[in-house]
Amino acid sequence: MGMKSFRLRRMEQYILEKENVSMEELCTEFDVSMNTVRLDVATLVKKGSIKKVYGGVCSNHQNGLVPFEERKMKNSERKKAVCRAAAALVEDGDIIYVDSGTTTMYLADYLDQHKNVTILTNNLNVIMRAVPYENIQVICLPGILERKTNSFVSAETGKILARYNIKKAIFAATGVTESGDVTNSSSLEYEIKREAMRNSEKKYLLLDSTKYGKSALLTYAHLGDMDKVIVDEEMNPGLKELCDRYNVKLEKVKADE
């Protein structure tokens, strides 16, 4: 990564964490000229993660996590449709990681005909939805229950996940930026997602179309790292352009009426 790219990532992270930052503060923090700051800010504004305000910049998203139960109600039919399509990628005997999130929570409902599938997950809803299916073995990753994400998290959760040989990982995201950054809002979830990215043979990203063009606090992957993206039929054309650019398979699915 070049110096400019490194500075841009640091600057973006700094702005997202601080939420509101003056141009002068950016000059001081990154020891660069005002002209350089203006150019960097223009790049980040185009990316969509920040926006300009009078005298400075601010984050273009809400850092606070919306409670899980509230997020679960939004676009549920779209999320079920992408989970059904993802289940078709799972084979008998697979060991799969199922990410925390409302988009992935319905996956177990569509694995009822599979044989000897093992799910690794830290998400309480995924665990509960898998309980009725005797063909699914569930390995629960440990931690303390984070109620805003309904997931178990700790400093050790990612390290324990690293022990397993994962065939396929099925991810969710808070947002995907127009430059392809796959983001999430929870710093506690970040290391778990990163470890699953490192330790999986195949990586699939499930999205409802409202997530494209949005950014969250942390970038845990890039779209180009994924083997396939599954999204509902309201997909923004920009997502297809990104998938084409990075040679990532894209599947668009229709939600049930």
For residue range 202-257, list pLDDT tens digits in order: 999 999 888 898 888 889 999 999 999 999 998 899 999 999 999 999 999 987 75
- CA dist., res. 239 & res. 179, Å (int): 10
Q: What is the pLDDT of residue 71?
A: 43
Domains of the chain: 3-59 (1.10.10.10), 68-253 (3.40.50.1360)
Check whether 8 has a pLDDT greater than 90.
Answer: no
Confidence of residue 75 (pLDDT cuts 50, 70, 90): low
Count of alpha carbons within 13 angstroms of residue 195, beta-carbon side: 22
**Largest Cα–Cα distance of the chain, in whole Å?**
62
**Phi, psi (deg, nearest 5) at residue 4:** -65, -45
- CA dist., res. 112 & res. 135, Å (int): 7
The alpha helices in 52-92, defined as continuous H runs, are 68-72, 76-87
